[in-house]
Amino acid sequence: MPPFDVPEGDPFGPHNLPYGVFSPPGSSERRVGVRLGDHVLDAGAAAHALGSPYASLLARPTLNPLLAAGRTSWSDVRRALTAWVTVPAHRETVEPLFHPLSSVTLYLPFEVADYVDFYASENHARNVGRIFRPDAADSLTPNWKHLPIGYHGRSGTVLVSGTDVVRPSGQRKAPTDPAPVFGPSVRLDIEAEVGFVVGAPSELGRPVPLGGFRDHVFGLCLLNDWSARDVQAWEYVPLGPFLGKSFATSVAAWITPLDALEEARVAPPERTHALLPYLDDTDEEPGGYDLRISMAVNGHVVSEPPFSTMYWTAAQQLAHMTVNGASLRTGDLYGSGTVSGPAEGQRGSLLELTWNGRDALELPDGKRTFLEDGDVVTLSAWAPGPGGVRVGLGEVTGRVTPRADPVS
Amino acid sequence: MPPFDVPEGDPFGPHNLPYGVFSPPGSSERRVGVRLGDHVLDAGAAAHALGSPYASLLARPTLNPLLAAGRTSWSDVRRALTAWVTVPAHRETVEPLFHPLSSVTLYLPFEVADYVDFYASENHARNVGRIFRPDAADSLTPNWKHLPIGYHGRSGTVLVSGTDVVRPSGQRKAPTDPAPVFGPSVRLDIEAEVGFVVGAPSELGRPVPLGGFRDHVFGLCLLNDWSARDVQAWEYVPLGPFLGKSFATSVAAWITPLDALEEARVAPPERTHALLPYLDDTDEEPGGYDLRISMAVNGHVVSEPPFSTMYWTAAQQLAHMTVNGASLRTGDLYGSGTVSGPAEGQRGSLLELTWNGRDALELPDGKRTFLEDGDVVTLSAWAPGPGGVRVGLGEVTGRVTPRADPVS
């Protein structure tokens, strides 16, 4: 019987063990949970029941204490959890502490400190350049191959998967409009991304080198950086995206520890430009991750963006983000940027898939250029795991709803 | 004797009463403090000693509980504090709970949630436009008069006044350089700003109208948005400032409640463009504040930026920031943007004062284009108060130090 008898090859088997925060049926008390198959283990209760020293990290309403504990603790806790869900002697103690996934409420698993979003897919950046600057000699800006471009986003509107996304209102102005108009966005878009979760903080004034990535970053999750393209287009010169992004960023309820993704590591694409030493990862461990993402609208897959094609790695992004001396805090979250592969069916945004609305997608329930009210967007993914078993990433999903009280 | 006998007309008299967080000599315990003259009242201890119901808001290590309590509580607590420091019957109880300002340690007075920075001075925006786009027909971008341009910054590197600022390293590339180079910034700059501190949160999906400003914003403080111009110039297209700003943002140790600034309210400059209804403050209370800022390098005043000249008000910035449905959290901080008046001696950055390094400033200790290691930058300000008495704002100061371990 489940959960110990999770089927062989289940992408959420004991080789995976992502972390989340849940409340059991009939309770609103938040607890750290670990997913196994289609069940959730109350990790704090298990630690208490087994007399584990990790109860202080796990019997908490958020992942932050575990995140802050650092890499050695992350490995130790993972080893302990693996034993708890696989060693038959623990079965009698641990089994009553599982809840069916369908019975629990899931929450944002950690308190987000700063949220940064990057722009690390060359295919995405070139598509955007071709769409918005069709006459430019180079579809990339001159800095693109020299540094991972990024900007800060709003951490207060990072939402857990399943939260409705209210269509934002805002200003927009087509080049032909005499003045800006106000109203609900008519170009609401998806950005399929991967988010990296910082665990161990760093000191102000002390950059984290490329080799420090695993000491600071705990894990990753799928992320949808919802974007109002019309709002963004009017506002973003010269200081970057603001209200076009700040209304909602959705993340999966499950954080996959990097320790579960050893077999998914791959070398990033070949570098076409020499990199400054702090970004040069030639002699580092492979910094890419082979994550196979699937992007669906109303259950219909519209794209399969391959994360392995990202030009800039998460380690390079971390090194860049701190090279000016900026410190890291537990709970910092950074997004990879939209993941787009080289093929048309691998583009991670509707902007690219419909070429800015020119080529509508044919879905079973009608044509789409951008998102309509009621649309449900779901990102899911898997990565190669040990012995060919897949490592499943927690999905991130959200339904677009109209605003109840539009402001005029 | 002090503190009750603070001199008549002292800008930190009982009409002011800004809030901070301090620890007394010989202790590292953080407490809410209220400044009176050159003394600090241990507000939580006073509340306890006087049996005040506000002890739960004041006997805390941070201002966040008070901030979260909302406008009615802010007024009630201020009224109580005013009585404690002015009614002779309280003198015997309260007087021992004061500490000389020079004897205490001051801390960042609240936990910063999201940090947003605006660009609301027309003089500043035009100066920047003229410097960087001298051939443009209009020194403002087309959106400037239609919305308060803003972007998110790094809340984890907001520092309290007095904290050293380590010169950031980063990439820079002059147009004539064949490739970017890496090293300490050679164009480290000041941005004289005013920061607004959000107290009461707002709900996701529910914009805060112009008239809701005072219900959500607790107070203001001076803010120095340190900027590495060379880093910023190379990185900021197309997603805005990132590492050129994220290394440090300094704020004063004292938050002046808006209730202390009633007499400083002024109408903003005349609007030259029709505004969309959510930004149209024609029928609102005056949204500007008459704050007289002084900017000094090594004690020598280099500029006196007048806050009353800001085109966009803090209420408009709040309405804009939330009009897409983004929620507010207690501790959100937003900067006004560099304050620059119309005159040369009113410019709030060295970029403008030296016209991007072309015209060096003559200081008593030598010429300056941008900041040198060891330079101490201090912003101070006052506002008109009741009966012609000044309301002093807490200063924000910081010394530039070289990085100990430059990364290559």
Q: Which residues of A touch B173 (CB under 8 A)?
A: 142-143, 146
Nearest to A151 among B209, B240, B328 (CB): B240
- Judge: A326–B243 Cβ closer than 8 Å, yes or no: yes
- Nearest-neighbour CA in chain B from A36: distance (Å): 32
Mutate one of B126, B128, B132, B242 to test the A interface: name it (highest A CB count within 10 A).
B242
φ and ψ of B218, to 5 deg: -85, -45
Q: Report yes or no on B163 lying in a domain.
A: yes
Nearest to B247 among A150, A246, A324 (CB): A324
Q: What is the enclosing helix (H) or strand (E) of B229?
A: helix B229-235
- Judge: A324–B228 Cβ closer than 8 Å, yes or no: yes
Q: Report yes or no on A4 lying in a domain.
A: no
- Tokens 């064949």 belong to B178
On whether both A49 and A187 belong to a single domain, the answer is no
Catalytic residue among A15, A99, A124, A320: A124
d(CA B124, CA B130): 10
- Judge: A157–B277 Cβ closer than 8 Å, yes or no: no
> How distant is the alpha carbon of residue B267 from its chain centre?
20
Which residue of A lies nearest to B180 if distances are taken between CA atoms? Answer: A146
Nearest to B324 among A180, A204, A231 (CB): A231
On whether both A269 and A375 belong to a single domain, the answer is yes
Mutate one of A111, A140, A152, A245 to test the B interface: name it (highest B CB count within 10 A).
A152
* Closest residue by Cα to residue A162 from A37, A253, A296, A63: A253
Active site (annotated) includes residue A124: yes
Q: Domain limits at B43?
A: 19-107
d(CA B133, CA A75): 53
Q: Report yes or no on B8 lying in a domain.
A: no
Interface ipTM: 0.97
Q: Which of A77, A106, A135 is the last residue of a domain?
A: A106
Three-class secondary structure of residue B12 per DSSP: coil
Q: Which residues of B touch A241 (CB under 8 A)?
A: 151, 239-240
- Nearest-neighbour CA in chain A from B232: distance (Å): 11
User: Token pair of B47, please?
Assistant: 């509340």
Average pLDDT, chain B: 96
- Judge: B182–A278 Cβ closer than 8 Å, yes or no: yes
Mutate one of A242, A271, A273 to test the B interface: name it (highest B CB count within 10 A).
A242
Q: What is the dihedral of CA A175, A176, A179, A180, to 10 degrees?
A: -50
Q: Report yes or no on A7 lying in a domain.
A: no
Nearest to A147 among B115, B235, B407 (CB): B235
On whether both B92 and B123 belong to a single domain, the answer is no
The per-residue pLDDT for A408 is 46
Q: Residue A41: which CATH number?
A: 2.30.30.230
The length of chain A in residues reads: 408
On whether both B195 and B214 belong to a single domain, the answer is yes
Q: Which of A88, A106, A124 is the last residue of a domain?
A: A106
Q: Report yes or no on B12 lying in a domain.
A: no
Please count the residue pairs, one from chain A and one from chain B, whose beta carbons lie less than 8 angstroms apart: 206
Q: How crowded is residue A375: how many other Cβ atoms within 10 Å of its Cβ? A: 19
The per-residue pLDDT for A286 is 95
- Judge: B326–A247 Cβ closer than 8 Å, yes or no: yes
Q: Report yes or no on B394 lying in a domain.
A: yes
Q: Report yes or no on B236 lying in a domain.
A: yes
* Closest residue by Cα to residue B332 from B63, B158, B114: B114
Q: In Å, how far are A165, A398, B13 from A402, measured between CA atoms? A: 9, 13, 50
- Judge: A156–B327 Cβ closer than 8 Å, yes or no: yes
The per-residue pLDDT for A298 is 98
- Judge: B156–A182 Cβ closer than 8 Å, yes or no: no
Q: Report yes or no on B9 lying in a domain.
A: no
On whether both B350 and B372 belong to a single domain, the answer is yes
User: Token pair of A16, please?
Assistant: 């995976």
Q: Which residues of A touch B115 (CB under 8 A)?
A: 152
The per-residue pLDDT for B1 is 43
- Judge: A326–B173 Cβ closer than 8 Å, yes or no: no
The length of chain B in residues reads: 408
Q: Residue A140: which CATH number?
A: 3.90.850.10
Q: In Å, how far are A9, A254, A317, B262 from A143, measured between CA atoms? A: 44, 34, 14, 47
β-pairing verdict for A165-166 and A390-401:
parallel
On whether both A366 and A244 belong to a single domain, the answer is yes
- Judge: B326–A241 Cβ closer than 8 Å, yes or no: no
CA-based R_g, chain A, Å: 21
CA-based R_g, chain B, Å: 21
Per-residue pLDDT of chain B (408 residues; tens, 9 = 90+): 445 779 999 999 999 999 999 999 999 999 999 999 999 999 999 999 999 999 999 999 999 999 999 999 999 999 999 999 999 999 999 999 999 999 999 999 999 999 999 999 999 999 999 998 889 899 999 999 999 999 999 999 999 999 999 999 999 999 899 999 999 999 999 999 999 999 999 999 999 999 999 999 999 999 999 999 999 999 999 999 999 999 999 999 999 999 999 999 999 999 999 999 999 999 999 999 999 999 999 999 999 999 999 999 999 999 999 999 999 999 999 999 999 999 999 999 999 999 999 999 999 999 999 999 999 999 999 999 999 999 999 999 999 999 876 554
- Judge: B325–A166 Cβ closer than 8 Å, yes or no: yes
Three-class secondary structure of residue B97 per DSSP: helix
On whether both A91 and A144 belong to a single domain, the answer is no
Residue A27 burial (10 A CB sphere; 0-12, 13-18, 19+): exposed
- Per-residue model confidence as pLDDT tens digits over B306-342: 999 999 999 999 999 999 999 999 999 999 999 999 9
Mutate one of B117, B152, B189 to test the A interface: name it (highest A CB count within 10 A).
B152
Nearest to A166 among B149, B154, B205 (CB): B205
d(CA A398, CA A373): 11
Per-residue pLDDT of chain A (408 residues; tens, 9 = 90+): 445 779 999 999 999 999 999 999 999 999 999 999 999 999 999 999 999 999 999 999 999 999 999 999 999 999 999 999 999 999 999 999 999 999 999 999 999 999 999 999 999 999 999 998 899 899 999 999 999 999 999 999 999 999 999 999 999 999 899 999 999 999 999 999 999 999 999 999 999 999 999 999 999 999 999 999 999 999 999 999 999 999 999 999 999 999 999 999 999 999 999 999 999 999 999 999 999 999 999 999 999 999 999 999 999 999 999 999 999 999 999 999 999 999 999 999 999 999 999 999 999 999 999 999 999 999 999 999 999 999 999 999 999 999 876 554
Instruction: Report how many domains make up chain B.
Output: 2
User: In A236-340, where does DSSP find H-type helix?
Assistant: 314-322
d(CA B238, CA A144): 10
On whether both A207 and A336 belong to a single domain, the answer is yes
d(CA B117, CA B120): 9
- Tokens 């999903």 belong to A397
β-pairing verdict for B217-224 and B192-198:
antiparallel
Catalytic residue among B39, B99, B124, B216: B124
d(CA A302, CA A250): 19
Nearest to A180 among B114, B146, B236 (CB): B146
- CA atoms lying within 13 Å on the CB side of residue A183: 5
Which residue of B lies nearest to A184 if distances are taken between CA atoms? Answer: B324
Q: How crowded is residue A237: how many other Cβ atoms within 10 Å of its Cβ? A: 15
Three-class secondary structure of residue B8 per DSSP: coil
- Judge: A326–B276 Cβ closer than 8 Å, yes or no: no
Strand partners of residue A392: A382
The per-residue pLDDT for B4 is 75
- Nearest-neighbour CA in chain A from B242: distance (Å): 5
- Tokens 């309590």 belong to B69
Spell out the residues 6+ positions from residue B201 whose beta carbon is closer than 8 angstroms to its own. Answer: B68, B216, B327, B328, B329, B330
- Residue pair B35/B395 in contact (Cβ under 8 Å)? The answer is no
Mutate one of B239, B334, B336 to test the A interface: name it (highest A CB count within 10 A).
B239
On whether both B70 and B151 belong to a single domain, the answer is no
Nearest to A170 among B154, B155, B324 (CB): B324
- Residue pair A220/A195 in contact (Cβ under 8 Å)? The answer is yes
- Residue pair B122/B269 in contact (Cβ under 8 Å)? The answer is yes
- Judge: B274–A205 Cβ closer than 8 Å, yes or no: no
Q: Which of B53, B86, B107 is the last residue of a domain?
A: B107
On whether both A95 and A135 belong to a single domain, the answer is no
Nearest to A324 among B155, B169, B173 (CB): B169
d(CA B333, CA A389): 47
The per-residue pLDDT for A1 is 42
Q: In Å, how far are B20, B50, B83, B87 from B41, measured between CA atoms? A: 10, 13, 13, 15
- Judge: A238–B404 Cβ closer than 8 Å, yes or no: no
The DSSP code for A306 is: B
d(CA B272, CA B267): 14
- Nearest-neighbour CA in chain B from A45: distance (Å): 31
The per-residue pLDDT for B408 is 46
- Per-residue model confidence as pLDDT tens digits over A320-337: 999 999 999 999 999 999
Spell out the residues 6+ positions from residue A178 whose beta carbon is closer than 8 angstroms to its own. Answer: none
On whether both B217 and B70 belong to a single domain, the answer is no
- Judge: A324–B170 Cβ closer than 8 Å, yes or no: yes
Beta strands in A173-277 (DSSP E): 181-184, 188-189, 192-198, 217-224, 227-228, 249-251, 256-257, 265-266
Q: How crowded is residue A61: how many other Cβ atoms within 10 Å of its Cβ? A: 14
Q: How crowded is residue A217: how many other Cβ atoms within 10 Å of its Cβ? A: 25
Number of DSSP helices (H) and strands (E) in chain A, helices first: 10, 26
On whether both A124 and A89 belong to a single domain, the answer is no
Q: Which residues of B touch A239 (CB under 8 A)?
A: 119, 149-151, 236, 240-241
